[in-house]
Amino acid sequence: MEEMGIKVLLLVKAVDFRWLLLLQIVCFSYFCDMRYHFIRASITSLLIFIGANAFPQQLSSQQVEVAFHNLIQTPGMESAHAGLYVIDLNDGTTVFSFNHNHLFTPASNVKLFTTAMGLEILGNDFLWITKATITGKRRRNGTLVGDLVISGSGDPTFSSMCLTGYDNNISSIFTFLKKNEIQKIRGAVYLKDTEEIKASFPPNWLFDDLQYYWGSGVYAFNYCDNSRFFSADNPDVRIYDTTGISSNTITLSDPDPWLSFTKVLNDTLNIKKCKRRNGGKSSQNRFVADYTMYSPSLNEIVKEINVESRNMWAEALLLSIGTEMGLEKDFELAADTLAEYWKEKLGFRESLFLYDGSGLSPYDAVTPQLLVELMKYMVLSSSEGRAFVQSIPEVGVSGTVKKLDYGGDLHPKILAKSGSFTRVRNYTGYILDNDGKPRYAFSLMMNGFTCSHEELIVKTGIFFSELFYDVLN
């Protein structure tokens, strides 16, 4: 198929430049159900033949309209509710709009609101802190007659596999105890003075999602992404050492992260008896030493949330935003505050309805226009705009948009946050200029399609590629 695409282009080598571009679009439309390998080969061949000057530096409404029309006319999109809004950030003018003020299910595009507010309220250098404290009496044989007390602040990254360069926190605790000449604990592990969260997950999530890792709840103490790992070869055996986790693993949500943590800690540190304490008074034993563990900075966490679309992290961030604003640790209150914050900032009262901070709730609703206004605000008005823009993954390169191939080395680059679940797929982001700065902000929202997600990813790649072919002028 790749050879076929190349031959088609070579056959028309002597044809007028604009007819060549038109033929390319026809070929894309005809082969829209093929995998992105053919598309990539065709675009690459076209680049070799016509050179980089084929890509205009300024989008025209006509070419956006053609690309969008081609997208919504493809098989599987006949009954879809689709919207697109594109603005020029240089002057704020609208390049193209279609159903821009209609409400759509945003899925993970909600994370853009959460991460943007997190940066604004907490600051990009915000850290979650978890402290381990030794209390009691040390014996000469390396035994602690006392307790290990853990006090946390809801760090979603604690012992997460997702962050390279950060050690497993249990290893850090082990090193801390070794430094204090403790080899064995005859006592308990306590979770100190921890307030209960009313619900471990937003109340509007679907029950079916709660058993899977993407539906993991948020707790006062989070451990290993609040996920449980099982070998696919032996599903009855749980894997506690996550160092060797591979793709041959079944991952489910963990209903009790603290219990999982103490199980691993007990096995690692040879603790005689692990007790669990949520709230109440901490141990009255004599203080021996303490050790503070820090999360990565918020700008790193926000990037991980948007690039890899981590639901639990987004919900933990939402709760911390609420706490910073003086709210109880309650998902509904925090989600209401998130929506009100952006309605006030952006000035659209009936364009945003939020029930969580990650977009897993099917009741969330937003317009393409409001998403674009958020993207505009973060670039032009927010002091945290740089960190926010850097958190959006590059299309065809990273994260959840890595497979959205629109031509490999095409310029300009596109940054986009995806959002998807059953019959929902959206992309909101920026088109960059030659200097790598956001030139256009856009939101493409598609609900109710009947083709597969894989097919729609290919179709969307074609849409983005067609934006850069000036076929009408």
Give, for all 473 residues of the chain, the pLDDT tens digit.
433 332 333 233 223 333 444 444 444 444 444 443 444 445 444 443 444 444 456 888 999 999 999 999 999 999 999 999 999 999 999 999 999 999 999 999 999 999 999 999 999 999 999 999 999 999 988 888 988 999 988 999 998 877 765 557 888 898 899 899 988 888 888 888 665 666 789 999 999 999 999 999 999 899 989 998 887 777 777 776 555 556 678 889 999 998 888 888 887 776 655 544 444 344 567 999 999 999 999 999 999 999 999 999 999 999 999 999 999 889 999 999 999 999 999 998 889 999 999 999 999 999 999 999 999 999 999 999 999 999 999 999 999 999 998 875 655 899 999 999 999 999 999 999 988 999 999 999 999 999 999 999 999 999 999 987 653 33
Task: List the one residue out of 420, 414, 412, 411 whose CA is nearest residue 396.
Answer: 414
Angle at 186 between CA 185 and CA 189, to 5 degrees: 65
Q: Which fold has domain 56-123+301-466?
A: Beta-lactamase (3.40.710)
- Cβ-count burial 158-168 (b if 16+ within 10 Å, e if not): bbbeeeeebeb
Burial grade of 10 (CB within 10 A; 0-12, 13-18, 19 or more): exposed
Tokens of 271: 């603790």
Measured over all CA atoms, what is the biggest interatomic distance in the chain, rounded to whole angstroms?
88
The pTM (predicted TM-score) of the whole model is: 0.85
Question: 358, 316 in Cβ contact below 8 A?
Answer: no
Amino acid at 343: K
Task: List the one residue out of 70, 16, 14, 24 whose CA is nearest residue 46.
Answer: 24
All structural domains of the chain with their residue ranges:
1-54, 56-123+301-466, 129-296
Bridge partners for 223 per DSSP: none
Dihedral of CA 48/54/57/62: which sign? negative
